[in-house]
């Protein structure tokens, strides 16, 4: 029986786990990214060239990559976002694109909550000061009683809303794509500016806009209350990082928890602010979640290459 040739371009795929065993049973592995880094377009053209399917991460699967890969029939993303895949080019070539939307929900929601609590309780500064000599203590803040503004009310955003509500937060949501009928547990903001003006905590769980422009820029940060906590575990492109730095410097943002950046791996100026907790795009990277995501991606790819849509 013919085995389809596939490329694993994601930088962190467990080559010893059950998903890899299942993949080898059905496919010929033509390439595995063992570089430990996110591949760029030139690398991908070489890696994907003869592949019929790809197990992908956040690397840029552009029109040029697809043009150089005439046998490509399916892309299976380990994760939820597709903003690094040229979907129009994929449709034009009949390439199926799959994601794993269910598996990472709990892990990303927990990571978001961890960032909120770490910032509000000043966990990272206290940890550092315990080791270097504590001159004074600066009080943290309660999460209970605060207004939590959630931008994007899909699977992850709604789970974060449930978690923060259980801690005593008033939850305010902005998501123009969600029908509000029947959603009684949260309040909805009419505009992003409305949410920005009311929230003590803002956490992003939206997908990027079609134009790719940040939704949090100087104008929106200027509408925020002073002293907010700002969390982004969604996409780096949602935030103008220069505007965020300005908001930190002028006291609008007193704490930021960031798992995603405009360019990754990130080594930019936001790391110089003690008010920022940064993690390297690992919100979904728990052992159990990762295996579920990889298995879902493998099953999606095998199904896509077999011609089944169900």
Catalytic residues: 235, 264, 281
Residues 6+ apart with CB under 8 A from 99: 77, 79, 80, 81, 82, 300
User: How far is residue 12's CA from residue 267's CA, in Å, rounded to a whole number?
Assistant: 20
- Nearest CA-CA partner of 3 in 25, 31, 34: 25
User: How far is residue 126's CA from residue 133's CA, in Å, rounded to a whole number?
Assistant: 10
| 8 Å CB contact between 238 and 220 | no
| 8 Å CB contact between 99 and 78 | no
Residue 123: exposed, middle, or buried by beta-carbon count in 10 A (0-12, 13-18, 19+)? Answer: middle
DSSP 140-160: ---STTPEEEEE--SHHHHHH
Q: Give the CA radius of gyration of the chain.
A: 21
User: How far is residue 96's CA from residue 302's CA, in Å, rounded to a whole number?
Assistant: 11
- Nearest CA-CA partner of 239 in 286, 197, 205, 273: 205
User: How far is residue 124's CA from residue 138's CA, in Å, rounded to a whole number?
Assistant: 12
Q: Which helix (H) or strand (E) holds 165?
A: helix 155-166
Please write down the HEC assignment for all residues of 174-214.
Answer: ECCCCCCCCCCCCEECCCHHHHHHHCCEEEECCCCCCCCCC
| 8 Å CB contact between 53 and 298 | no
Coil, helix or strand at residue 10: coil
């Amino acid at each position: 029986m013919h085995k389809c040739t596939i490329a694993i371009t994601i930088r962190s795929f467990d080559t010893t786990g059950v998903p890899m065993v299942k993949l080898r049973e059905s496919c010929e592995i033509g390439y595995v990214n063992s570089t430990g880094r996110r591949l760029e377009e030139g690398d991908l053209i070489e890696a994907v060239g003869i592949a019929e399917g790809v197990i992908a991460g956040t690397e840029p699967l552009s029109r040029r990559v697809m043009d150089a890969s005439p046998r490509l029939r399916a892309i299976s993303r380990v994760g939820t976002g597709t903003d690094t895949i040229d979907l129009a080019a994929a449709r034009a070539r009949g390439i199926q694109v799959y994601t794993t939307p269910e598996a990472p929900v709990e892990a990303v929601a927990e990571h978001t909550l961890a960032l909120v609590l770490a910032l509000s309780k000043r966990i990272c500064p206290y940890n550092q000061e315990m080791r270097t000599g504590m001159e004074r203590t600066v009080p943290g803040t309660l999460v209970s009683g605060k207004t939590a503004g959630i931008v994007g009310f899909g699977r992850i955003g709604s789970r974060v809303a449930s978690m923060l509500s259980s801690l005593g937060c008033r939850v305010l949501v902005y998501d123009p794509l969600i029908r509000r009928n029947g959603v009684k547990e949260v309040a909805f903001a009419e505009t992003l500016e409305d949410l920005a003006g009311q929230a003590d905590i803002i956490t992003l769980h939206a997908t990027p806009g079609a134009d790719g422009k940040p939704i949090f820029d100087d104008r929106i940060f200027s509408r925020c209350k002073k002293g907010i906590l700002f969390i982004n575990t969604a996409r780096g492109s949602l935030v103008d990082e220069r505007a965020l730095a300005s908001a930190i410097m002028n006291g609008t943002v007193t704490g930021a928890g960031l798992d995603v950046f405009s360019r990754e791996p990130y080594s930019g100026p936001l790391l110089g602010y003690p008010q920022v907790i940064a993690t390297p795009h690992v919100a979904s990277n728990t052992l159990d979640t990762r295996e579920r995501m990889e298995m879902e991606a493998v099953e999606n790819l095998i199904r896509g290459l077999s011609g089944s849509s169900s």
